[in-house]
Structure 1
Amino acid sequence: MEFADLDLSKDYTYADYLKWQFNERLELIKGKIFKMSPAPSAIHQWVSGVIFNNLFNYLKGKPCKVFSAPFDVRLSRLINDKQVSTVVQPDICVICAPAKIDKRGCLGAPDIVVEILSPGNNKTELQNKYEAYEEAGVSEYWIIHPSEKTFLSYILTDGQFQASRLLTAGDEVTTPLLPGFTLNLTEVFENEIFNED
C-alpha cells in the first residue's frame, strides 16, 4: 500500500497507523491524517537542539524525561489502540509520569509539548493540535516561531489553555513544572544561521 492509496477523508486509528509502512512521516489528529513537513531546516534543527539540550541537562537525575521527534505520542485516556485517534510527533516533549512511557512512545498527555513552526505547518493542523493537546490535558504547550523569533506558551488552567505573553530574544522561559529551569531565548534565536538567506 502506498500513501496515495489512503482515503484522506476517512477516520483512522492508531491500530491503522501501526500497519502503515510509508516513507512519509505522518501524524493522526482526531482520526485525520496529516503529512509532516519534509526534513526540517537548519534553523528548525538548531532551535530544537538548543531547547532539547537545555531540558536534557536540567532533567538529568530527575523523574521527568525529555524526548525529541520522531517519537509517537498517543493522546488517549484509553489503553486500547483501536480507540486512539490522535498520534502526534511533537518536536520535543517532557513526560513526568514514567508509566506513560512505553516501547512505542508515550500513551497519554506529556506535561510539556514543544512545537517548532515551519513553513509547511498549515492552519488546520495547528488548530487541531491545539485542541487535541488541550483536550488531552497537556499542562504546557510551547510554540516557537523561528522566522519571527518568538516563543508563546499555553498553560492549561481549569481545562483550557491560557496564552502567556509573547517572548523573544532577551527573554527567559521558566515553568512551574520544572522549578529552577531557565531557557534563555537569546541562545535559542541568536545564531549566524538565522542571518543566512
Structure 2
Amino acid sequence: MENKVEEPILDYDKTYTYADYLQWRFKERIEILKGKVFKMSPAPSRTHQKIVSQLSRVFLNHFHKSNCEVYMAPFDVRLIDKRKNSTKDEDIINVFQPDICVICDRDKLDIRGCIGAPDLIIEILSPGNSKKEMKNKYELYEENGVKEYWIVDYHEKVIYRFVLIDDIYIGLKPLIEEETATSTIFPDLSFNVGEIFED
C-alpha cells in the first residue's frame, strides 16, 4: 500500500483530481470543486452540529426501511465530469462532503462513498462558507442533477429550498420557524421548521 503524502503543499492555481485527494492526509477536511481545493472551516460550531443532528434524526426516521439512504459528513460525494463521462479517480474533479445527503440509487454507492449526484443535499451555512455554499456548490449541484438542494441558515433561522426543473434550479418560498418544511421530491417528508432550530 502506498504511503500517503503528509500535509502536501498545494498550488491553489492547479487543477486536482480525486486521485490526488486519495493521496493526501490533512488535519482538516478539504473538498475539490471543479478541480480547485477548498479547505473546509474548522470544526463546525455546536449549533451547526446540533442542527445537523436534528435534521439527521428526521431524515433517518423518514427513510428507515426505504430504498433511500441518508449520509452525514464526513462522507465523500464524487461528481462525474460530463465532458469525460468517466468514473476513473484521475478524471473526477469534484469531491465534496455535504452536511446531509439522500441517495436512492444504490448503484451510486461504493465503499468510498457516493459517485454521482445524490437526490437531495442539505448544507448548513457556517461563517466563512456561505459564498461556497450559495454559489459554487449551487452551480455544481444544478449542473450535475441534484434534484433538490436545501440551504439552512441557522443565524436567520430559515431554510432555502431549490428544486431542479428542466435542469435549472427554481427557488421555493423560504421557510421560517412557524412553518412546515416539505420536500418536493419526497412529498411525504415533512417536519416543523422550528423544531430544527430549538436549542
Normalising by structure 1, what TM-score?
0.93
Within a 5 Å distance, the mapping from 1:154-165 to structure 2 comes to 154-165=162-173
| Secondary structure of 1:57 counterpart | helix
2:95 aligned with 1:87: yes
- Deviation of the 1:125 alpha carbon: 5.5
> In the aligned structure 2, how far is the partner of 1:122 from the partner of 1:33?
16
Normalising by structure 2, what TM-score?
0.92
Conserved 8 A contact 1:135-1:159: yes
- Deviation of the 1:165 alpha carbon: 0.9
Conserved 8 A contact 1:34-1:125: no
- Deviation of the 1:5 alpha carbon: 1.0
2:14 aligned with 1:39: no
2:117 aligned with 1:109: yes
| Secondary structure of 1:190 counterpart | coil
- Deviation of the 1:78 alpha carbon: 2.6
| Secondary structure of 2:25 counterpart | coil
Q: Which residue of 1 aligns with 2:12?
A: 8
Out of 20, 29, 51, the position equivalent to 2:24 is 20
> In the aligned structure 2, how far is the partner of 1:22 from the partner of 1:66?
26
Q: Which residue of 2 aligns with 1:143?
A: 151
Within a 5 Å distance, the mapping from 1:145-184 to structure 2 comes to 145-184=153-192
> In the aligned structure 2, how far is the partner of 1:2 from the partner of 1:126?
31
- Deviation of the 1:3 alpha carbon: 4.2
> In the aligned structure 1, how far is the partner of 2:187 from the partner of 2:132?
34
Unaligned ranges ≥5, structure 1? 192-197
| Secondary structure of 2:49 counterpart | helix
> In the aligned structure 2, how far is the partner of 1:126 from the partner of 1:174?
21
Dislocated runs of 4+, deviation >4 Å: 1-4
> In the aligned structure 2, how far is the partner of 1:61 from the partner of 1:183?
19
Conserved 8 A contact 1:169-1:190: no
The one-letter amino acid of 1:45's match is Q
Conserved 8 A contact 2:32-2:95: yes
What is the total number of aligned residue pairs between the two structures? 191
| Secondary structure of 2:122 counterpart | strand
Conserved 8 A contact 1:140-1:154: yes
> In the aligned structure 2, how far is the partner of 1:125 from the partner of 1:173?
20
The one-letter amino acid of 2:57's match is N
Conserved 8 A contact 1:3-1:22: yes
